[in-house]
Each structure stands twice: as C-alpha cells, then as structure tokens.
A and B are shown apart, each in its own frame.
Chain A
Amino acid sequence: MPAAFDTATSAQELSGDGVLSLTHTAGGADRAAHAGVGIIASAGQQDSTSVTYGGTSMTEMTDTPFGVNSGQATYRLAGPATGAQTVTSTITDATPFTHFLGVISLTGVDQTTPVGTPVSATGTVSPATVTVASVGADDLVVDNVMLGAALVAPVVGADQTSRWSQSEALNGGEGAGSTQAGTAGGVMSWTFAMNPGDDWGIAAVAFKPVAAAAGWGGLLSSQRNRLVQA
C-alpha cells in the first residue's frame, strides 16, 4: 500500500514574536507528519529552533537560511497522535517579519524508517527545484518551498499536488508545500516570477511505505497493529 496524503493545515504570522501554533488533525493507520517552516527575519536570525506536535518534538530534517533575510526548515514525525493536536513552530528571531508553518499528515508510512534522505537547495532564479534520490513507486514525496519576494504566487510542478500555501503582501513572501506520488519520481519544482536578487529555498523528502507483509504471519501482524492503533 503506498504512502498517502491525509490532511493539511497552515498558518502565517506577520510581525509576531517567532512562536506560531495551530491545531492539526491526523488519522488513519501508520501515520506520519511533515512540517514546513518559512521565515523572513533579521539578517543572521533566519533559523528555525523547533517544531513540536502534540508536545512531542519533531525531528529536524533541514534548516536552511538563504539570501539576506529568508530561511526554510522541515521536520518529520512518525506516529503522531490522532485527533486535534497543537503544532508549534519556534524560530530564532523574536521579532521576525514573517513566519509560515505548514503541516501535512500522511498514512501508510513505515514507522521504523519513515523517510529517505532529505535534500534542500537555494537559488535566485525560477524554478525552485530539488531532486530526491532513490524514490520508490509507493513513496510519497513531500516538499516545502519558501520564496523571499515573489511577484505572483508560485505554480506547482505538473506531477505535484499543492497541499498548502500562504502569501503575504508585507514583504512579498510565499510559503507552500506539495506532495508527489513516487511513480512520478523525485523532482519537485515550483515556477514563479520574482524580483532580481531575491532568493528561494526548497527542501523535499520521500516518505516510505509500510513494508509489504510477508506471508500470513506478516499479514496477521499488520492487522493486529491496525487494531491496536484503532
């Protein structure tokens, strides 16, 4: 069974204090969560500090400052709690210009090795693109893109499905996240128009499917796990 999208939520705060929380809800068997953070902050304070999910620390996969004021970071968690849970993003700058948070939850994800190797990239011209290696057909690739100052909202790659997006007029920042079935490969990209000299950052990772059950023993074990989780 392939890893699959379940739900998505996102928020943005302009001229806040660097701590942003939202309620997300996840359900289903073999769950996982991905959090994408976007930052426009004072120079040198473009890092993410942490993201927690229902009080549990998520594992940081990437944390990439870029340009003069921007940054983006990604986090993951296997087996997030079900139902309405608070997800909290904290960034280094206590007086940032912009703070984005997008959360995507998935089902059918291997709980022992939930992801492959995360990758990130930065640049100054469209498209923002990154390639995830060793993507299997049943994987689900998830990305997080942050544009420092887009002129229009970014357009998601042809085989991707946009899951969340946040635009703000104050600085022209754009944050977004998408998913792509493993059958389409590991190239994730967004096209856009941006002022010369502005920057983008993108990160992506493949979520791995639950390993196929081996024989009746494996099938019974898989069903037992589902009953326990239900």
Chain B
Amino acid sequence: MTVLAAKQPVTLSFGVLEQFVSPAVVINALTDAIMVRLRRPTTLNPMAWTAADKIGVAIVVMLDGVEYRCSGRASGGIRLNRNGNEITHYVLHWRLPYGHFDRGASRRLGELSRIAFRAHVVLTRVAGNAITEIEVTSSESPAPLALS
C-alpha cells in the first residue's frame, strides 16, 4: 500500500474553503486501485458534520493530459451499517481500467502513459459545512492475464 495523501483534517465551509484538492502526485504505472477514506461522525467522535452537510468526493487520475475520474458523494451524521454498528468512515475505492485497450497484451492504465501519470483527490462542498479527516492510499500489481 502506498500513501498518496497522509491522514489530515479537512474543513469545508461556505465562503471560506469550498474545495479541498490534494497535491497531484506521480503514481506507479502498475497502480491497481486508489482509495479515499473520510472519517465520519460517531458517538465517540462527534464531528461538526451533519446528515444535511454534503461533500462531493472525486479521485482524479491524469494520463498524458486525459482525465479519468471516480466520484461519489458523502454526507455526515451518524450512520449505521446493516448490523446496527456505527460506520466510522466513508470509503470510495476505484480499481483503474486494465485490459487490452483495443489491442496487445493486458496492461494497467498507467502502462499506456508516455508523459505523465498522476493522481489527486478533490473534495467539494455541496451543502452545509463539514469537518472530516482524509486519507488517500493506492495499491499496485501487474495487470491480470486477460484470457478469453
């Protein structure tokens, strides 16, 4: 596992910080997946982030100037999983494209790069204000064999 952005607090608030953008970092050509974790409010750690406060979450990969993106949306408040336990983190996990890309052997997306392969994460305030903590990691491995 590679840390792309170390754990850090983020506060998004109207008129102050509408968007958080992590530094764009060069990523390994064999990057398989990128994961964003945002700390959610819990009874033990009640952060100022309610269910009405919404954040857009996007993992952005730039391959030779072409943007690839995985996006979702997080809201605050205490949420329970189906077993009734409090959920401690919002998670967005993306396995990047791999395959033949029309022709040739099976490759990871990054193996197509000729100039630059970078990634960053964007958090965008959608509604209300939010206090959370972000961590971004990646994993790397060769592309699976693409048998028929």
Contact = CB atoms under 8 A, between A and B. Distances in A.
Contacts of B92: 11-13, 16
B interface bracket (residues with beta carbon within 8 Å of A):
35 or more
A199 B147 CA distance: 30
The prevalent SS among residues of A at the interface is strand
A162 interface: yes
B146 A15 contact: no
Interface stretch (A58-66, A119-127, A163-171): A163-171
B73 A19 contact: yes
Interface of A: 2, 4-17, 19-25, 27-28, 40, 68-69, 83-84, 86, 95, 97, 99, 105, 107, 140, 161-162, 164, 166, 168, 170-171, 179, 181
Interface stretch (B8-16, B83-91, B116-124, B128-136): B83-91
Q: Chain A CB within 10 Å — which of B89, B98, B146 has the most?
A: B146
B38 to A, nearest CB: 9
B70 A11 contact: yes
Interface string B66-79: 11111111110001
B81 interface: yes
B131 to A, nearest CB: 16
A23 B97 contact: yes
A7 B74 CA distance: 28
B144 A6 contact: no
Contacts of A95: 75, 79
Nearest to B70: A22
Q: Chain A CB within 10 Å — which of B82, B92, B97 has the most?
A: B82
A175 B96 CA distance: 16
A209 to B, nearest CB: 12
Given A5-B146, A12-B91, A161-B146, A21 B69 contact: yes
22 contacts: A2-B148, A5-B99, A5-B100, A6-B99, A6-B100, A7-B99, A7-B100, A9-B97, A13-B92, A14-B90, A15-B40, A16-B72, A16-B74, A21-B69, A21-B70, A22-B71, A23-B68, A27-B101, A27-B102, A84-B68, A168-B91, A170-B81
